[in-house]
Amino acid sequence: MAAPVVEASPAVRVRSNLEELGMDRMAELAGEHMSLVAAGSKTYAESLLELTDAQIAAVRERDLWRRVQKANFPYVKTLADFDFSFQPSLSRPVVEDLATMGFLERGENVVLVGSPGVGKTHIAVSLGVEAVRCRKLTYFADCQRLVDDLKRAAAKGQLERRMRFYAHLSLLILDELGYLGIDKEGADLLFQLVSRRYERRSTIVTTNVGIGAWAQVFGDPVTASAIADRVCHHCHVIRITGRSYRMKDILPDLPGRDRRDAENGE
Ligand code: ADP
Ligand code: MG
């Protein structure tokens, strides 16, 4: 005799239905909510509202994460992770104002200048994450890699396609301008890109070289000044003059005089 078919309980079937519909967060919470409704601690409407809210929040979080991944950040950090008290040269209100994304709406640029480790990339990434949150097409590129990428595209006859990709981004983060020199061809390509974005789309540049010294980075002073001219028109220049955060765990251990010397780079 065939064994009687035992049908799964409604609670199990609800969970399985929700999973099949892709409502994973609701599926996780459904059992708990059924008990709460049965015990009278929640009305059916309250429970459904909370379950659907939780599902929507999960979908939004996943969508944000997918867009953050596409932005190519080297790490994901926000302003909440930034210790402003460690870097008094950086004005918190100025950075928080940038985080409202007004500069992006106005097509303005941001140049973060400072020595290594002071938090330039962290601030740039934080603003980038904020832009992604606002659904702005954002891309983070190491300056040298971007130049190499454009050179490769030019060599393959695909410059226009690649240029269009970078030119159309709502926010381009150009990291570490000045760490390595850029030759004439690279400078020309960068100039083309900067010109196409000029006054229309925002760029955040992080650099260890003051804007006045960009001529040395680009080898060619004429192109350098043309690039600086376009980047710096409608631009927020932020200089961070403090010490490296990477050294923070080393320096506090040094006794008074040694620490001052180390901070002064002696
Ligand atoms: P750089 O100025 O060289 O771009 P980064 O922004 O990459 O430096 O900072 C180096 C590391 O130190 C990163 O992990 C960054 O998150 C961290 N960092 C730098 N400044 C701060 C700060 N004030 N508060 C918290 N973390 C910081
Ligand atoms: Mg950096």
Residue 179: the pLDDT is: 85
Residue 261: the pLDDT is: 41
Residue 260: the pLDDT is: 42
Phi, psi of 239 (to 5 degrees): -100, 130
What is the model's pTM?
0.85
Q: What residue owns the CA closest to ligand 1's atom 12?
A: 245
Confidence of residue 112 (pLDDT cuts 50, 70, 90): very high
pLDDT surpasses 80 at 225: yes
Closest CA to 181 of 203, 152, 209, 159: 209
Q: How far is the CA of 177 from the centre of ligand 2 (A)?
A: 9
Confidence of residue 262 (pLDDT cuts 50, 70, 90): very low
d(C-alpha 100, C-alpha 37), whole Å: 41
Residue 216: the pLDDT is: 83
Confidence of residue 265 (pLDDT cuts 50, 70, 90): very low
Q: Pick one of 3.40.640.10, 3.30.70.1560, 3.40.50.970, 3.40.50.300 as the CATH number of 85-263.
A: 3.40.50.300
The residue-averaged pLDDT of 126-155 equals 97
Strand arrangement, sheet containing 235-240 = 138-142, 171-177, 202-207, 109-114, 235-240
CB contact set of 247 (below 8 Å; sequence gap of 6+): 117, 262
H-helix segments, the chain: 10-20, 24-38, 44-70, 92-98, 102-105, 120-133, 143-155, 159-168, 184-197, 214-218, 221-232, 256-263
End-to-end alpha-carbon separation of the chain, Å? Answer: 91
List ligand 1's pocket residues with C-beta within 6 A.
77, 81-83, 86-87, 114, 116-122, 206, 245-246
Q: Write b or e for each residue in 14-28: b if 16 or more Cβ atoms lie within 10 A of its Cβ, otherwise e.
A: bbeebeeeebebbbb
Q: How far is the CA of 117 from the centre of ligand 1 (A)?
A: 5
Q: Residue 86: nearest ligand to its CA?
A: 1
Residue 48, CA distances (Å) to 35, 104, 162, 227, 233 in order: 13, 38, 47, 56, 53
Give the number of other Cβ atoms within 10 Å of residue 265's Cβ.
7
**Stretch among 47-61, 154-168, 184-198, 210-224 having the lowest mean pLDDT:** 210-224
d(C-alpha 178, C-alpha 237), whole Å: 16
Residue 221: the pLDDT is: 86
d(C-alpha 90, C-alpha 245), whole Å: 13
pLDDT digits (tens, 9 = 90+) for 144-176: 999 999 999 999 999 999 999 999 999 999 999
Give the number of other Cβ atoms within 10 Å of residue 41's Cβ.
11
Closest CA to 86 of 113, 112, 111, 123: 123
pLDDT surpasses 60 at 43: yes
**Stretch among 25-39, 186-200, 213-227 having the lowest mean pLDDT:** 213-227
pLDDT surpasses 90 at 1: no
Q: Residue 247: nearest ligand to its CA?
A: 1
Residue 25: the pLDDT is: 97
d(C-alpha 29, C-alpha 27), whole Å: 6
**Domain spans in the chain, listed from the N-terminal domain onward:** 11-70, 85-263
Q: Helix, strand, or coil here: 211?
A: helix
pLDDT surpasses 90 at 7: no
Comparison of pLDDT for 263 and 222, the residue scoring more: 222
**Stretch among 24-28, 58-62, 63-67, 245-249 having the lowest mean pLDDT:** 245-249
Residue 36: the pLDDT is: 96
Which atom of ligand 1 approaches the CA of 123 most closely?
6
pLDDT surpasses 50 at 255: no
Q: What angle do CA 146, 149, 151 make, to 5 degrees?
A: 110
- The pair of three-digit structure tokens given for residue 86, joined into one six-digit string: 């460690």
Confidence of residue 227 (pLDDT cuts 50, 70, 90): very high
Residue 191: the pLDDT is: 95
Q: Do β-strands 171-177 and 109-114 pair in parallel, antiparallel, or remain unpaired?
A: unpaired
Residue 133: the pLDDT is: 96
